[in-house]
Amino acid sequence: MNFSKDTKILIIGLGVIGGSYAAGLSRKGYNVSAITKEQKDIDYALERNMIRYGTTVNEEKLIKSSELIIFALYPTVFIEWIKENQHLFGKGTLITDVTGVKTGVVEEIQSILREDVEYISAHPMAGREQSGIEFSNPDVFIGANYIVTPTEKNTCEAIAVCKKLGEILGFARIEELTPKSHDEMIAFLSQLTHCIAVCLMNCNSTQGLEKFTGDSFRDLTRIAKINDKMWSELFLMNKGALLDSMDSFIAEFSSFRNMLENGEREAMREKMRNSTARRSLFDRPSKK
Nearer to its own copies, 6 or 270 (CB): 270
Say if residues 170 and 143 touch (Cβ distance below 8 Å): yes
Nearer to its own copies, 67 or 183 (CB): 183
Is residue 288 within the footprint of its own copies (CB under 8 A)? Answer: no
Select the residue interacting with its own copies from 111, 152, 228, 286 (CB under 8 A).
Answer: 228
**Cα separation of 213 and 217, whole Å?**
7
In angstroms, give the least distance from the CB of 141 to its own copies. Answer: 11
Window of 6-14, 63-71, 91-99, 184-192 that interacts with its own copies by CB under 8 A: 184-192
Spell out the alpha helix ranges (H) of 48-178: 60-65, 75-85, 106-112, 156-168
- Binding mask 78-117 vs its own copies (x if CB under 8 A, - otherwise)? ----------------------------------------
State the SS3 of 26-47.
HCCCCEEEEECCCHHHHHHHHH
Size of the site for its own copies (CB under 8 A): 89
Site for its own copies in 240-279 (CB under 8 A): 242-243, 245-254, 256-257, 260-261, 263, 265, 268-276, 278-279
Window of 2-10, 59-67, 75-83, 232-240 that interacts with its own copies by CB under 8 A: 232-240
- Binding mask 187-206 vs its own copies (x if CB under 8 A, - otherwise)? -xxx-xxxxxxxxxxxxxxx
Spell out the alpha helix ranges (H) of 91-214: 106-112, 156-168, 179-186, 192-202
Angle at 107 between CA 19 and CA 21, to 5 degrees: 10
Select the residue interacting with its own copies from 91, 216, 286, 288 (CB under 8 A).
Answer: 216
**Cα separation of 270 and 255, whole Å?**
13
Residue 156: what are its φ and ψ, rounded to 5°? -60, -35
Nearer to its own copies, 69 or 234 (CB): 234
Select the residue interacting with its own copies from 27, 37, 40, 225 (CB under 8 A).
Answer: 225
- 145: which strand partners? 125, 173
| Dihedral over alpha carbons 239, 242, 247, 248 (to 10 degrees) | 150
Window of 17-25, 28-36, 108-116, 172-180 that interacts with its own copies by CB under 8 A: 172-180
Nearer to its own copies, 28 or 257 (CB): 257
Select the residue interacting with its own copies from 218, 237, 241, 288 (CB under 8 A).
Answer: 218
Spell out the alpha helix ranges (H) of the chain: 16-26, 39-47, 60-65, 75-85, 106-112, 156-168, 179-186, 192-202, 215-221, 228-237, 239-261, 265-280
Say if residues 176 and 147 touch (Cβ distance below 8 Å): yes
Window of 39-47, 102-110, 156-164, 211-219 that interacts with its own copies by CB under 8 A: 211-219
